[in-house]
Structure 1
């Protein structure tokens, strides 16, 4: 199947500054792009492209004096198998001494995932008796899915996993952060992922399309996709970036005062 993706984002700025964005499809899906992406920047400004320490495609836009707004647009077609997220119930949990060293940063505390908090004891009390591996990660997803109430109106960019746990509300990033933290507390490497996830194979959501967040847990010899918010395998995830938590993968970040003037995201199956 083909999935049509894109966005139209406009930011107003008040002074010369720089904008970092992670808005292009992750290199791991580059081979699925049909004809590449069509990223447009208005006005045309000097841009430095680079790959960050997590393997994500990033760009720094230099905004000079006299420019008061920057508009970013993109559209592309992406091939997808049309299969839901894989489920492997037998995927095993590795002991800490067995984990590949490259997974170790994803068992440590990070900006939004306070493993070294009351969540550590909570995790062992509630999931320590659950079979290790896939059943344990799924039990964590089940808990987070029940514990948090999804509410766009309660979105807060500074909310941590512990705060979400206490407040019992949030958006997709909060579901991901809490699940990641509980996994790490159980010595399961878990990383944050952001990207496109359309309403394919499910009822259409009653609110505007947005980028989505989920997480990946390392079991056996690979990373597996989990989604505590939806808590069911979904079709058509297209990764943009991965990191320890949302702090590593900002869709846009401006170094200074700015106002979001436009934000539109497209993710849909391309029919006909």
Structure 2
């Protein structure tokens, strides 16, 4: 399946500022970039780096006072891997690949140690595997209200658990936290999401099951098959679309994700397994 994705973001720079962006799609695996463009206005020199472990693509630039705009467009081909959910098992810690072990630990927004007692009481009796992670998503979707403005950049999964309200990043953080508390490696994923309304950068999570990472979205707001991955990491601190050092004011942002060709069917979010690795 092919998708056209992109964003148009801007800032009013008040004083000289350094900005680090993570808005370009990950290249590799079952996500292929057919073509892309990045336009920076004014035309500024930029440093670019692709993280070896995750594939995250970072862009750093320094801007002087005035307006700054970035426009990114990409044509993406997705080849989602579907396996029978009932056949996807959890992996004992003793047999996990070593590079997944950091995703078992508590992190800034995912204090899995604080919610471990609840996670084990609520989900510990469920048969290990893909179905247990799905039940975690079911619980979050049923028990946490999706409400804009209820959280900010300091909100952790423990805060969301107490408040029972949040946005996509909070749903993802809570899912990650519960998984890690149960010994399942889990990581945060930022993405362009087809069928998301209104369009914006979206947040989901991946759990390591069987021999690969599988996508999950507790918000149930977009099709898993149509998610173009931008970045992944321990939590949102590793995948922010913009990290700013200096005084700036954000301008209106536009994000889009459109299916190309005849891709028109509506997919459910957790009915099937979806992996891109």
TM-score, length-scaled by structure 1: 0.90
The answer as to whether partners of 1:150 and 1:169 remain within 8 angstroms in 2 is yes
Q: 1:176 aligned to 172, 176, 180, which one?
A: 172
- For 1:23 and 1:187, locate their aligned partners in 2 and report how far apart those are by CA, in whole Å: 30
Hey, what does 1:224 align to over in structure 2? 214
Q: Secondary structure at the match of 1:25?
A: coil
1:17 corresponds to 2:13: no
Partners of 1:85 and 1:225 within 8 A in 2 = no
Partner of 1:160 in structure 2?
156
Cα 1:29–1:47 change in 2 (3 A) is farther
The CA distance in 2 between the partners of 1:108 and 1:101, in whole Å, is: 13
Q: Where does the alignment leave 5 or more consecutive residues of structure 1 unmatched?
A: none
- Aligned residues of 1:141 and 1:231 also touching (Cα < 8 A): no
Partner in structure 2 of residue 45 of structure 1: 44
The alignment status of 1:238 with 2:228, answered yes or no, reads yes
Contact kept in structure 1, 2:85 and 2:131, CA below 8 Å = no
1:213 is matched with 203
User: What does residue 114 of structure 1 align with?
Assistant: 111
Distance 1:151 1:271 in 2: 34
The two structures, once aligned, show a CA RMSD in angstroms of 2.0
Measure the CA separation in 1 of the matches of 2:175 and 2:131: 14
Q: Which of 161, 185, 192 in structure 1 is aligned with 2:188? A: 192
TM-score when normalising by structure 2: 0.88
Shift of 1:128: 0.9
Aligned partner of residue 112 in structure 2, secondary structure: coil
Instruction: Indicate yes or no: 2:87 matched with 1:90.
Output: yes
Shift of 1:155: 4.0
- 1:99 Cα deviation (Å)? 1.0
Contact kept, 8 Å, 1:17 with 1:62, in 2: the verdict is yes
Deviations along 1:136-157, one digit per CA (max 9) or x if unpaired, are: 1111111111111111232422
Q: Which runs of 4+ in 1 moved over 6 A?
A: none
